[in-house]
Amino acid sequence: MDEITFKFIARIKSDFPDKFGIPRQSGLLKNLRSTIVFEPEFRNADALRGLEGFSHLWILWIFSENVRDSWKPTVRPPRLGGNTRLGVFATRSSFRPNPVAMSCVKIEKINLTGEGAPTIEVSGADLMDGTPIVDIKPYLPYADSIEGATGGFAEAVRFKKLEVSFAPGIFDEPDDSKSADLHDSGAKFPEQKMAALVELLSEDPRPAYQRSADRIYGIRFAGFEIKFKVESEHLTVVAILPLQA
């Protein structure tokens, strides 16, 4: 057998409509919530029987935005600034012979009733909204946590967390008499997602090879476009703009 076909068992429902800004690895953002929504064929509560005894899950999913017919033996990890080539199998790059990824997430709640049930609410996922999932497996502490493991170049190059602040007046009520600008968004960002937003921004979502202090960056998160700039180790949110429906 040279090939095998997978069925998508589920898709993730997350606050990331596109790739930019997604955490570099799973588990980094403890306040980030997502939901595993099973495809109709796999919406069977019996398939989750016993899962309530586990705290974490492995999600096996597809880099659906990077599916391609060819592959290269080396890639340029963003962690190294995009300038150094390493073997594809020494990285977690999305550009792989088979676009398969894995993420470890915390189980927050298993919903056996309600719309689309069963569903699984998780935290720490690094998946774009709608990403197809091919399998989930429980995390086993005695086998999956390896004492003394080393992290190669990923350990040698660590990103320092940024201090996050918001520009004055960013949450003021909108004034129709004023022209919209970066400091007059009038946005009503959901309070329950604020901790996740600050956590996300503190990880510095900019590409490692694109670090301009003069540039205003933007990421789409939770139905809003978050515009920010970074000077030294300080990130300032200059606007929070609702996305157009």
pLDDT digits (tens, 9 = 90+) for 23-53: 888 998 999 999 999 999 999 999 999 999 9
Long-range contacts made by residues 81-90, C-beta under 8 angstroms, separation at least 24? 81/208, 81/209, 82/207, 82/208, 82/209, 83/209, 86/153, 90/152, 90/153
How far is Cα 102 from Cα 98, in angstroms, rounded to an integer?
12
Has residue 177 been placed in a domain?
yes
Q: What is the pLDDT of residues 153-181, one digit of tens each?
A: 887 666 679 999 999 988 776 555 443 44
Q: Which domain holds residue 220?
A: 163-242
The pLDDT tens digits of the residues spanning 189-239 come to 999 999 999 999 999 988 776 777 889 999 999 999 999 999 989 999 999
CATH code of the domain covering residue 169: 3.30.2310
pLDDT of residue 158: 66
Phi, psi of 215 (to 5 degrees): -90, 145
Its pTM stands at: 0.88
Residues 138, 25 within the same domain: yes
The answer to whether residue 197 sits within a structural domain is yes
CB atoms within 10 A of CB 65: 11
The confidence score (pLDDT) of residue 157 equals 65
| Residue 2 forms part of a structural domain | no
Same domain, 26 and 139: yes
Q: 117 and 214: one domain?
A: no
How many domains would you assign to the chain?
2
The answer to whether 222 touches 188, Cβ cutoff 8 Å, is no
| pLDDT tens per residue, range 61-82 | 999 876 778 889 998 887 777 7
The 8-class DSSP code of residue 215 comes to P
* Integer Cα distance of 198 and 196 in angstroms: 6
CA dist., res. 215 & res. 229, Å (int): 6
